[in-house]
Amino acid sequence: MFRFANPEFLFLLLILPVMLFWYLRRSLRSRSTVRYSDIALIKEVGTSSRQRYRHLLFLLRLAALALMIIAFARPQAGSREEEMITEGIDIVLSMDISSSMLAEDFQPKNRLEAAKLVAADFIKGRSNDRIGMVVFAGQSFTQCPLTLDYGILLKFLEEIHIGQIEDGTAIGMGLGTSINRLRDSKAKSKVVILLTDGQNNRGELDPITAARIAKSFNIRVYTIGAGSKGEALYPVDDAIFGRRYVRMPVNIDEELLRRVANMSGGQYFRATDKSSLERIYKEISEMEKTKIEVKQYTRYRELFSRYLIAALILLALEVILGNTVFRKIP
């Protein structure tokens, strides 16, 4: 960046064309004529270098004055710096990996694979937020602690599969493990996004008690019920007949999930397919935005000394040439 701290001095540059006009006019008036009967001899003499460059002294003075005026205007070069202040959010993704998540109502894949794809997009869309991951079925455990390394987090997400834990749906335990990961967090906003497709039927901690604990630690819980309305196709592997599909009723305890979310200041969502699940995660991402404050600083350094030194050099050169090469003898 370049600027003049005192640009009003630049108006003095208007003096330069006036000085040039005055000099040219004076030069024309100061010419004298001498009559010769024959100028052939004068033509052979030619023009000396002193005559050819006789206007150089004035041009040096003019250039020196222009540089001095620019120096008075204080030219400055600036460099801009930005300071970014962020207030990150700590988020735990709590995902149900019970066998019912194999139901294939979230085309083109089952519920778990669809949930993993949508969660991956959610992670990639965040920045400056610590994100962790908890999985639960009959029990729960931390798949990945809170981290800013989204690469390793996505790797852990890919490795999630049904059968990691004994079967069942321990919603309270999944929420409790997530809270345990967030309770010592210093972040201003702490969030759990819990996804399940069933009803709480396992675990030592019931979901309502877990919701009260979340509220006491100022943790918001967003709950998502994943499953189509009515029935869904569920794959069954038979040793004799191979894989076949049976229809199973979709039983999501929406009232419980809604209570858990409301008690903690969160919100409940129902996802009936992959598209609606994507919209839900996008909506949550919009609600839980990271605060980013950008402060800009511009630092200027003075350049007037360069122009002033150049002007003094030109003036010195004019004085030296005026007293040597272009010296006038009275």
Of the chain, the percentage scoring pLDDT greater than 90 comes to 59
Q: Which two tokens stand for residue 204?
A: 């030592």
* Calpha distance 98→195 (Å, rounded): 11
The pTM assigned to this predicted structure is: 0.64
Q: Are strands 219-226 and 231-238 parallel, antiparallel or unpaired?
A: unpaired
- Mean pLDDT computed over 167-174: 96
Report pLDDT for 57.
86
* pLDDT grade for 288, boundaries at 50, 70 and 90: confident
In a domain, 306, yes or no: yes
Whether 7 and 141 map to the same domain: the answer is no
Print the SS3 string covering 11-57. HHHHHHHHHHHHHHHHHHHCCCCCCCCCCHHHHHHCCCHHHHCCCHH
- Domain hosting residue 146, numbered range: 89-289
Q: Are 100 and 125 within 8 A, CB to CB? A: no
DSSP 263-324: HTT--EEEE-SHHHHHHHHHHHHHHSPPEEEEEEEEEEEE-HHHHHHHHHHHHHHHHHHHTT
Q: Which two tokens stand for residue 1?
A: 């960046």
With a cut of 90, say whether residue 33 has pLDDT above it: no
In a domain, 74, yes or no: yes
* pLDDT grade for 40, boundaries at 50, 70 and 90: low
More confident residue, 148 or 327: 148
In a domain, 328, yes or no: no
* pLDDT grade for 87, boundaries at 50, 70 and 90: low
CATH number at residue 212: 3.40.50.410
Whether 55 and 96 map to the same domain: the answer is no
Whether 109 and 154 map to the same domain: the answer is yes
Burial class (CB in 10 A: 0-12, 13-18, 19+), 278: middle
Whether 103 and 207 map to the same domain: the answer is yes
Whether 51 and 200 map to the same domain: the answer is no
Burial class (CB in 10 A: 0-12, 13-18, 19+), 303: middle
Mean per-residue pLDDT over the chain, rounded: 87
With a cut of 80, say whether residue 289 has pLDDT above it: no
Q: What is the pLDDT of residues 261-279, one digit of tens each?
A: 999 999 999 999 999 999 9
Q: What is the pLDDT of residues 204-225, one digit of tens each?
A: 999 999 999 999 999 999 999 9
In a domain, 41, yes or no: no
